[in-house]
């Protein structure tokens, strides 16, 4: 029996464990990626490990999230990141160079290699045949130190692609169709691997869009084969010598197969407030729209922006619509200028924003009260835009362009003459805002710049024999990391100051949570299904840890957040009987005897109840928990 593409890469990088579904394995990581919202903490953690240089083939630090410099904090952290990069052998992508996933895809992604990134949309590189996994910053710091990345051996869901997309339909509609079928948790425990004759009909940028947003299904990652289209794209980027063919064996067997006929996909929309709440755009025609935003790591490629520019050329954005473009990289900006598309967008009435994440993470461009905002982004969680009552819809560039012109939700198939965008035979690449690391013999003299907002990491203590405390909060299903630890222009600059950022934990759900947690001396979080979905931000675990959270007990976890809880010594536990969730309320007094982490029983002392709990911790994770978290564990291993 042959191997799928994902299985082959896992096999070639396997360090520990066996290739049995559900068993813990550890794999070697070739590349790492960080961005400034998560990277600052990752590098503080790497420093604490005491190494002189990163141990990976390539590590890249991007500044793309926190570029809104309203005071000293972001600027100080950018200097910290640059000095860290120089000191430890990391390539730096400066502010304005572009969005991390788009730039990494253009300049660094390699078929057959592994990548771990401190951003949940790291799987974008899977569009080029790289096994790319999003994780918490501490996992990335461990990889930079030469340590392997541990995960459960995944099932492989083969997505068999046939047919060809019709005009007005693109890669965004493909992944929205996958989300329509799987929703936001149907991919948990899987790698989504695309194969079949229809793959050759998808452009490489469309593939990147699909793997980027596959994250929203809960999948470990997504991957496409590396074929002749991949080769042509890499040659256009001046990296043809790095191309290799990568595909599944002809007799590969998938654990599950989802059939996807491209010719039957129509323009789709993810309604508020979930990427999995998908409907055809035809059901929403006529919905008045206030804002249209094109860009983000999902749809900011040359193909995406040229599609919009071609559709709006010689036309005007509707007077009631504020329309923006966030280019993915400086290379794309140069190509847009060369082709005249930049002028076409400006003349049509689009505002051109800096090449960065911006409104996708609520960093500017918050909609007006109750506004309808149509975006080519990857998430539309409630309040993520910066406006709690805004109605955010996720769409393709084609739907966005048609809607911007009409002032209401529109079907791009009504617009005649939408032609496929041809990639340049050679891009005018722009690497001016990369800073190369110093050689080892010079790096030792670099002075690390630390602004006053950078505070030391909190202490992590070994796991006690028992934990006691109150239920500090009880939440429902699909709680996101945006709910737990919001982003935005006010909060993200505090990313390297854990005491201060902890004041905003659960800010949009229960603003009284931080004060209550401190007054009660910590306690427990109780929740429903898919707790912690969304961003990889480890602050959603680290800040609750600072506030004294001892365990999170839910019906099920999202993968990355569960791993982050382990990393910082918070027990991730589930109910043996999911119905037991209904027996516990906020304020209940709980006691949990931990012992050797077997036969866990939660005592609800004020109700006289005993509730059995489960965990799926590996042997290594149990040792990590006993030592108080991954940082303590890694230091002990290195010593």
The C-alpha angle 90, 91, 96, rounded to 5 degrees, equals 135
Active site residue 13: no
d(CA 382, CA 380): 6
Report angle CA 478, 481, 486 to the nearest 5 degrees.
125
Of 101, 379, 555, 562, the catalytic one is: 379
- Are the beta carbons of 111 and 231 closer than 8 angstroms? no
Strands of the 14-16 sheet, one edge to the other: 14-16, 24-27, 149-152
Catalytic residue among 76, 119, 344, 588: 119
| Helical packing angle, 559-567 and 619-627, nearest 10° | 40
Q: Position of tokens 């890469």?
A: 9
582 carries an active-site annotation: no
Q: Let me know if 64 is a catalytic residue.
A: yes
The answer to whether 27 and 114 have CB atoms below 8 angstroms apart is yes
Selected catalytic residue, list 13, 31, 495, 537:
537
What angle is formed at CA 240 by the lines to CA 236 and CA 242, rounded to 5 degrees? 135
Q: Is 119 among the residues known to form the active site?
A: yes
Alpha carbon of 617 to those of 57, 150, 327, 564, 621: distances in Å? 30, 11, 41, 13, 5
Residue 579: how many CB atoms within 10 A of its CB? 8
Active site residue 249: no
Q: Which of 535, 536, 539, 559 is catalytic?
A: 535
Terminal alpha carbon distance of the chain: 42
For residue 441, give every residue at least 6 positions away whose Cβ sits within 8 Å of its Cβ, in sequence order, or none: none
Q: Which of 36, 64, 173, 206 is catalytic?
A: 64
Among 65, 207, 384, 555, the one annotated catalytic: 65
What burial class does residue 278 get, using C-beta atoms within 10 Å of its C-beta: 0-12 exposed, 13-18 middle, 19+ buried?
buried
Number of separate helices (H) and strands (E) present in the chain:
20, 27
| Residue that has been written with the tokens 């009260």 in this structure | 369
User: Torsions phi, psi of 467, nearest 5?
Assistant: -125, 140
- Which string of b and e fits 211-226 if b means at least 16 CB within 10 Å? bbbbbbbbbbbbbbbb
Q: If residue 142 lies in a helix (H) or strand (E), which one and from where to where? A: helix 137-144
Residues classed as catalytic: 64-65, 119, 379, 535, 537
């Amino acid at each position: 029996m042959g191997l799928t593409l994902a299985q082959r890469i896992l096999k070639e990088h396997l360090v520990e464990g066996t290739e049995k579904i559900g068993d813990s394995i550890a794999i070697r990581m070739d590349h790492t990626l960080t961005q400034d919202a998560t990277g600052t903490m990752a590098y503080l953690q790497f420093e604490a490990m005491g190494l002189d240089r990163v141990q990976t083939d390539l590590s890249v630090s991007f500044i793309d999230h926190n570029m809104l410099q309203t005071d000293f904090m972001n600027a100080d952290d950018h200097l910290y990141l640059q000095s860290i990069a120089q000191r430890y052998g990391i390539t730096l992508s400066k502010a304005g160079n572009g969005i991390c996933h788009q730039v990494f895809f253009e300049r660094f992604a390699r078929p057959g290699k592994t990548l771990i990134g401190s951003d949940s949309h790291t799987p974008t590189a899977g569009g080029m045949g790289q096994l790319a996994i999003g994780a918490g910053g501490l996992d990335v710091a461990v990889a930079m130190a030469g340590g392997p990345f541990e995960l459960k051996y995944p099932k492989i869901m083969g997505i068999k692609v046939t047919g060809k997309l019709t005009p007005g339909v693109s890669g965004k509609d493909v992944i929205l169709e996958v989300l329509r079928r799987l929703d936001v948790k149907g991919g948990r425990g899987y790698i989504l691997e695309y194969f079949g004759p229809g793959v050759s009909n998808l452009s490489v940028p469309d593939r990147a869009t699909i793997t980027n947003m596959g994250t929203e299904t809960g999948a470990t990652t997504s991957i496409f084969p590396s074929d002749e289209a991949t080769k042509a794209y890499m040659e256009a980027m001046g990296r043809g010598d790095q191309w290799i063919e990568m595909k599944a064996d002809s007799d590969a067997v998938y654990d599950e197969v989802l059939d996807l006929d491209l010719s039957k996909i129509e323009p789709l929309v993810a309604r508020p407030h979930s990427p999995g709440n998908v409907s055809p755009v035809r059901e929403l025609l006529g919905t008045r729209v206030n804002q249209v935003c094109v860009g983000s790591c999902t749809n900011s490629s040359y193909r995406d922006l040229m599609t919009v520019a071609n559709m709006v050329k010689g036309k005007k954005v509707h007077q009631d619509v504020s329309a923006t473009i966030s280019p993915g990289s400086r290379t794309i900006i140069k190509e847009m200028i060369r082709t005249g598309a930049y002028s076409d967008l400006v003349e049509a009435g689009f505002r051109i924003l800096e090449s960065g994440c911006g409104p996708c993470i609520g960093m500017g461009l918050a909609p007006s009260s109750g506004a309808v905002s149509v975006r080519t982004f990857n998430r539309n969680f409630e309040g993520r835009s910066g406006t709690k009552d805004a109605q955010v819809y996720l769409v393709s560039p084609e739907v966005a362009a048609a809607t911007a012109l009409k002032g209401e939700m529109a079907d791009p198939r009504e617009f005649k003459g939408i032609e496929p965008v041809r990639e340049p035979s050679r891009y005018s690449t722009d690497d001016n805002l990369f800073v190369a690391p110093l050689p080892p013999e010079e790096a030792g003299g670099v002075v690390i710049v630390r602004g006053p907002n950078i505070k030391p990491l909190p202490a992590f203590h070994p796991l006690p024999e028992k934990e006691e405390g109150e239920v500090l909060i009880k939440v429902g299903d699909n709680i996101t990391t945006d709910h737990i630890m919001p982003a935005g222009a006010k909060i993200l600059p505090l990313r390297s100051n854990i005491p201060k950022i902890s004041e905003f934990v659960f800010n949009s759900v229960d603003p009284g949570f931080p004060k209550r947690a401190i007054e009660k001396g910590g306690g427990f979080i109780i929740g429903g299904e898919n707790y912690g979905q969304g961003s990889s931000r480890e602050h959603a675990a680290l800040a609750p840890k600072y506030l004294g959270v001892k365990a999170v007990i839910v019906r099920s976890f999202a993968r990355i957040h569960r791993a982050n809880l382990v990393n910082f010594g918070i027990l991730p536990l589930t109910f043996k009987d999911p119905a037991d969730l209904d027996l516990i309320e906020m304020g209940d007094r709980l006691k949990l005897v931990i012992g050797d982490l077997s036969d866990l029983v939660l005592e609800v002392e004020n109700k006289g109840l005993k509730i059995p709990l489960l965990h799926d911790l590996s042997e290594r994770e149990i040792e990590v928990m006993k030592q108080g978290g991954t940082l303590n564990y890694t230091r002990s291993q290195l010593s």
